[in-house]
Chains A and B, each alone.
Chain A
Amino acid sequence: AQKITQTQPGMFVQEKEAVTLDCTYDTSDQSYGLFWYKQPSSGEMIFLIYQGSYDEQNATEGRYSLNFQKARKSANLVISASQLGDSAMYFCAMREGDSGNTGKLIFGQGTTLQVKP
């Protein structure tokens, strides 16, 4: 069965430093997608970054990058130059099934990130 594991319940980082949030996944599918979402205290789910299983390069979106290590089945989120506004819960998720198919997502438990001034 597909599964997403986030082993860090809580993380602290100093403002302006980089931080890595861990995510490992388990699937027998050859084609899958990996997502990271941010959930601030206000509760909305904000899409950050996507990595397809066949993408050879790591995805990047501004200060966010996804360190994709397929053989290790890990998809860590790297936030560079942390800002106070980055304090939030972060969820890793995996899409079941082939690309372009129904995007049912399986979510990890989440990691709470606190950025210290």
Chain B
Amino acid sequence: NAGVTQTPKFQVLKTGQSMTLQCAQDMNHNSMYWYRQDPGMGLRLIYYSASEGTTDKGEVPNGYNVSRLNKREFSLRLESAAPSQTSVYFCASSDWTGYQETQYFGPGTRLLVL
């Protein structure tokens, strides 16, 4: 049981290049999320997907697109990377058991845009 996995772990891009961050969960969760964490700060929500086939904007969606490919996978795409997108990106999925909810995070992708 791998939980939430993310690829790649590290990436260096030049300004204007594009890339896709991959995320997959094996816990059969309906909801998935993409956050970014800038140095010394908490996480901020970029996009989320409440269920397969739906996506919605979070707090900081500009410059990103997402795809909920199926229940397991939720990808984040940077069409034209900018230095301001240098950050650590976390994917997460959530579960509600009826009395407790938990949000599980992937290990993160460190992205540097030059």
Contacts and interface: CB of A to CB of B under 8 A. Distances in A.
Interface in B14-40: 31, 33, 35, 40
Given A43-B108, A44-B108, A91-B42, A104 B102 contact: no
Contacts of B101: 33, 50, 52, 95, 99-100, 103
B48 A102 contact: yes
A105 interface: yes
Interface stretch (A13-21, A79-87, A107-115): A107-115
A91 B33 contact: no
B88 A47 contact: no
User: Which secondary structure dominates chain B's binding surface?
Assistant: strand
B31 A103 contact: yes
A11 interface: no
B38 to A, nearest CB: 11
A42 to B, nearest CB: 9
A50 B96 CA distance: 11
A105 B100 contact: no
Contacts of A91: 42-43
A107 B100 contact: no
Contacts of B50: 101-102
B104 interface: yes
Interface in A41-62: 43-45, 47, 50, 52
In this complex, the member of A43, A52, A109 whose beta carbon has the largest number of chain B beta carbons within 10 angstroms is A43
Interface of A: 4, 33, 35, 37, 43-45, 47, 50, 52, 91, 93, 95, 99-110
Given A45-B43, A95-B101, A103-B96, 5 more contacts: A43-B110, A47-B102, A102-B31, A104-B33, A108-B42
27 contacts: A4-B42, A33-B101, A35-B103, A43-B107, A43-B110, A44-B105, A44-B107, A45-B105, A50-B102, A52-B101, A91-B43, A93-B42, A95-B101, A100-B96, A101-B50, A102-B31, A102-B50, A102-B94, A103-B31, A103-B96, A105-B33, A105-B43, A105-B103, A107-B42, A107-B43, A108-B42, A109-B41
